[in-house]
Amino acid sequence: MSCEDVVARLFEEARDDVYRYLVTLGLPAGQAQEATQEVFLRLYATMKRGRRVENPRAWVFRVAHNHGLTVRGREGAMRAIDPEVHLNIADRGGGPERDLLEWERRTRMAAAVETLSPQQRQCLHLRSEGFRYREIAAILGISDSSVAEFLKRAITRLRKAVDA
Distances (CA, A) of 144 to 131, 135, 139, 147: 12, 8, 11, 5
Least separation, in Å, of the C-beta of 1 and other proteins? 14
Of residues 52 and 147, the one with the C-beta less far from other proteins: 147
How far is the CA of 4 from the CAs of 14, 17, 45, 60, 142, in angstroms?
Answer: 15, 20, 10, 15, 31
Does the protein bind other proteins through residue 145 (CB under 8 A)? Answer: yes
Q: Which amino acid is at 42?
A: R
Count the helix, strand and coil residues of the chain and give each as a percent rounded to the nearest 5: 75, 0, 25
CB of 35 to other proteins, least distance (A): 7
With binding defined as CB under 8 A, does residue 1 bind other proteins? no
In angstroms, how far is CA 29 from the centroid of its own chain?
Answer: 14
Under rule CB under 8 A, residue 109 binds other proteins: yes
CB of 54 to other proteins, least distance (A): 18
**Cβ 64 to other proteins, closest distance in Å?**
11
Check binding of 107 to other proteins (CB under 8 A). yes
Q: What DSSP string runs through 107-125?
A: HHHHHHHHTS-HHHHHHHH
- If one asks whether residue 13 binds other proteins (CB under 8 A), the answer comes out as no
Q: Does position 100 bind other proteins by CB under 8 A?
A: yes
Q: How many residues bind other proteins (CB under 8 A)?
A: 83
Contact flags string 57-96 toward other proteins, x per CB under 8 A: ----------x-------------x---xxxxxxx----x
